[in-house]
Chains A and B, each alone.
Chain A
Amino acid sequence: MQVTVKLFANFRNNRFNKEVRTIAPDITVGAIVTELAIAREEVGVILINGRHGSLDQTLVEGDTLSLFPLIGGG
């Protein structure tokens, strides 16, 4: 099945801004994060179709996943 993945800020470095990806059914957000070689502890806000999501949520055909890095500096 296909989902759209949008990356923000430094997650785009050596990756992409937005990509339609073919994934296995029942794959979790966390598995996609791992597939993208992003450290899970560096993931901040997760949106699925514009709503708040989490690493253990699974995606369905046509979903849009947005990943923002965890930002805490001052």
Chain B
Amino acid sequence: MIKRLSKVTPFLFFPLSVGDDFVQEIAEFLQKNAEGGLLPFSVQQEAGQRFSLHIAEVEEISLGHDLLPARYQRNRTMISTQQQLSLLRSKVAVFGCGGLGGYIIEELARLGVGRITVVDPDVFEEHNLNRQLLCTQELLGIKKVVAAEQRVAAVNPAVRLQAFDVAFGHGNSAEILKGVTVAADGLDNIPVRLDLAEACNDQNIPLVHGAIAGWSGHVAVQYPGENILQHLYAGKKTGHGVEKRLGNPSFTPAAIASLEVAEIVKILLRTKPLLPRRYLAMDLYHMEFTEVFFPDGDP
């Protein structure tokens, strides 16, 4: 017995101009070729070719019929098939494709977040090689968003990536944030972070913020209507913090990016949020995590 999809068409990436019978035919093909409730990628690919569908469309039909693409099998006890469908239908915008952004994009793609928007105007330079996941010798001089596109395509072809090779600002915030479920802050200067926080509030989008310097970093979540970044950066007119003097090693962005993604996933899946009105300061040198609570109201 095939479980019929309910309300699937409005969520499809490329809305099918065909009826439910076609969806059912595809679902039958997938179910016939699934192995123990798991859909091997080879079958997903074959279905894409046979029915002229994007891998993401096949994935949506598969998940809608309780078949989990085999790549996600090790997530199964934490993320159900239904939740995987929610991730596929989500859109996360990642601001900055450097130290934090590279790891955030990688982790979102492996999780199967269906749409990722990446924003960064820069190209890779030699001093990025010590920490930026997307930066390789071969990609020096190449735009960071292009590297993000290549990486995501190589890791998970079900993910659709939208790239903006521009600096985020008031002029483009509405376009970039259109349809975004959650925004991830991987920026590298304070005034733009504050602009992003304001734009997210204007558009009612939760923002997961992270920042790093040397062995240290912090992470915080700004839910719409809150102003945690204004508390964190109250009265700061300078563009940068102590990272300008300390630099950043490989492990600090990886750690803070992972904390950010853990928060993003919980927001996308609407599970209990970890960090409302507080921020978590991380010090890897002393191996200490410190929790700071913020009051309501203005800083």
A interface residue numbers (CB < 8 A to B): 8-10, 12, 17, 41-42, 44-45, 47, 50-52, 54, 68-74
Q: Which of B181-198 contact A (CB under 8 A)?
A: 185-190, 193
**B217 and A71 form a contact (CB under 8 A):** yes
**A73 and B243 form a contact (CB under 8 A):** yes
Q: What separation, in Å, do the CA atoms of A71 and B212 have in the docked complex?
A: 6
Q: Which residue in A10, A42, A45 is a CB contact (below 8 Å) of B232?
A: A45
**A73 and B248 form a contact (CB under 8 A):** yes
**A9 and B211 form a contact (CB under 8 A):** no
Smallest CB–CB gap between B72 and chain A, Å?
A: 28
Number of B residues near A (Cβ < 8 Å) is 49
**A71 and B211 form a contact (CB under 8 A):** yes
Closest 7 CB pairs between A and B?
A73-B243, A70-B241, A72-B241, A9-B216, A74-B188, A71-B213, A74-B100
**Which residues of chain A have C-beta atoms less than 8 A from B215's C-beta?**
9-10
**Which residues of chain B have C-beta atoms less than 8 A from A74's C-beta?**
96, 98-101, 185-188, 210-212, 253
Q: What separation, in Å, do the CA atoms of A17 and B288 have in the docked complex?
A: 11
**Which residues of chain A have C-beta atoms less than 8 A from B96's C-beta?**
74
**Which residues of chain B have C-beta atoms less than 8 A from A72's C-beta?**
188-190, 193, 211, 213, 233, 239-241, 243
B interface residue numbers (CB < 8 A to A): 96, 98-101, 185-190, 193, 210-218, 231-236, 238-244, 246, 248, 253, 279, 281, 283, 285-286, 288, 290, 292-295, 299
Contact A8 B281, CB 8 Å, known A72-B211, A72-B239:
yes
- Among A8, A70, A71, the most chain B Cβ lie within 10 Å of the Cβ of A71
